[in-house]
Amino acid sequence: MKLYNDVDMSSDQDAKKIYLVDDHPVVTKGIAMVLDEEPDLVVCGSSDDIDHVLRDINNMKPDLVVVDISLKEANGLDLVKALKTRYPNLKTMILSMHDESLYAERALKSGARGYLMKNEVSETIVDAVREVLGGGIYLSKKMSIRLLQRYVVSDKEDSRDPMDLLTNRELEVFRYIGQGYAPREIASNLGLKVKTIETYRERIKQKLDVSSSSEMNRYAISWYADRSK
């Protein structure tokens, strides 16, 4: 669904163009209202359809693309990675309802230059956008400290996070398992078939070297609880 298109920016030649990728119209309109109030920023377009996104970015050439992680057609981190490959100089950042402790590091590895949680958007979106547009990286102070602490011990071979073995979609499924969702509920939330979710569960079990579904469920619940502290 296209929310914005062909914005007339003839009077905003010096404004930085922001493109929004999100499947929640209310959220998108709210962000656009906040950013459009700034004289140096303008929302040039928005869509939740991947084909539209890629076409619009090619035509509009935005300075920054803000992407939600949970999209109906794809995982937002995979989209960020694809954009990084196609447009190496294009800046991207993640805006998500999910706690940054779950995804911020993976977002940076995918090519994003920032991570902002939706419950903080009204207070911090302008600062976050300007930080990324200026060449910086935007994370909360808490997450910045956590990442620094992790990299201090990264020289140890056994310090690698087992979650690094999972793809972005597998991690999304694993997170839902940790939150106590049943396969049918996960399938509904992600717009996938139950059989597909079961396939993801089997792949996760193999990659994490767990022997049973019950063991994986306990692992996921413990992991989610630890990351949510």
For 92, the enclosing helix (H) or strand (E) is strand 91-96
Going by C-alpha positions, the residue among 165, 168, 193, 197 that lies closest to residue 181 is 197
Q: What values do phi and psi take at 209, rounded to 5?
A: 60, 50
Q: Where are the domains of the chain?
A: 2-146, 161-227
Write down the pLDDT at residue 1. Answer: 38
Going by C-alpha positions, the residue among 129, 136, 113, 112 that lies closest to residue 32 is 129
Which has more pLDDT, 146 or 202?
Answer: 202
pLDDT tens digit string along 143-199? 887 777 766 665 555 556 778 889 989 999 999 999 999 999 999 988 889 999 999
Tell me what percent of the residues of the chain surpass a pLDDT of 70. Answer: 88
| CA distance linking residue 201 with residue 171, whole number of Å | 10
| CA distance linking residue 93 with residue 65, whole number of Å | 7
b (16+ CB within 10 A) / e for 85-109: eebeebbbbbbbebbbbbbbbbbbe
Write down the pLDDT at residue 6. Answer: 44
pLDDT classification of 12: cutoffs 50, 70, 90: low
Write down the pLDDT at residue 156. Answer: 54
Q: Which CATH architecture has domain 2-146?
A: 3-Layer(aba) Sandwich (3.40)
pTM: 0.75
Write down the pLDDT at residue 9. Answer: 47
CATH for 161-227? 1.10.10.10
Provide Rg for the chain, Cα atoms. Answer: 18
pLDDT tens digit string along 90-146? 999 998 887 777 888 889 999 999 999 888 878 889 999 999 999 999 998 878 877
Predicted confidence (pLDDT) at residue 16 exceeds the cutoff of 70: yes
